[in-house]
Amino acid sequence: MLIWNKAAVCKLLWAISCKKDKLWVKWIDAYYTKGRDITSISCPANSSWALRKIFECSQIIISASGWDRFIKKGSFSIKEMYKHLHGDFVKVPWSRVLCQNLASPRSLFISWLAMHNRLPTRARLTMWGVVDNSSCCLCNTAPETVGHLFFECAWSSQIWTMVLAHLHFQRGPGNFTNELAWIMKSAKKKAAKHQVALMFFAECVYAIWLHRNDHIFNQGSKTVSAAQLFRDIRFKVACRCREEMRKFF
C-alpha cells in the first residue's frame, strides 16, 4: 500500500508538471513553480505538508530519467510507476488458481493455506509435540499430511474422483502436489469446464477440511458419506458459477 500510495502521489506531480489547464495546478504554478521544470526546483519551506510530499517524488522521476516510461496513451500510468517502484518479482504459479476462482472466499483461503503447507494437520501437530497420533482420521492408513489428505486418502479420493467424472476428465486422483500441478495447468484454459474445475478444487479442499475437523473435534457427529459431501460441494459451486457454466449441473 505504501508503494501504491507513492505511485499515486507521483501522478499528482505529473499533473503539476504537465496539466496546466487544471485550476489547482495553475495556483501552484503561480505561487511555487512559476513555469520552471518540476524536477529542477525544491519545495518551498512554507508550503503545506501535502505539497512537500508531492515535491519529494521528483527524485523518483529524476532517477527514472523522466516521465516517458510512465506515460500510456498520453496519460500517467500509476500501474507502470508501481511496477517501477516495486521492482522485479517472480510471478507465483498458483495465482490463477486463486485469483480467477469464483469459489467462496473461505475455500480460497483454506486452499491457499494448503498450497503453502500451513494447515495444522496431524503430521505437523505431531512434529510440534501437540498430539501423539499422526494417522489420518478419515482412513487411518497413513500420516495425515496435506499431500495425503487431498486427495490420496481413500475417503477424500472418492470425492475428487466424482468431481473428475462429473466434469468428464479422463484421469484418476493423485496426491495434493499432483492435483495442484494439474489444476494450475487447467487454470490457464479459458473454457467453462476448466473454470468450473477450479471452483470444485477449492470447494473440495474446504469441505474435506471441515469434515476432517468435525470428525476430530465432534467425534464425527455428522455422519456424511463421500457421495453426500460431493452433492453439497456441487450445490455450492452451482450457486456461485456464471450462467455459461451451469450446463455442467
pLDDT tens digit string along 220-230?
656 788 999 99
Burial 121-147 (b: 16+ CB within 10 A, else e): bbbbebeeeeeeebebbbbeebbbbbb
> How many Cβ atoms from other residues are within 10 Å of residue 240's Cβ?
15
User: pTM for this structure?
Assistant: 0.71
Which residues are paired to 210 by β-bridges?
none
For 125, half-sphere exposure in the C-beta direction (CA atoms, 13 angstrom radius) is: 14
pLDDT tens digit string along 72-91?
888 899 999 998 898 877 78
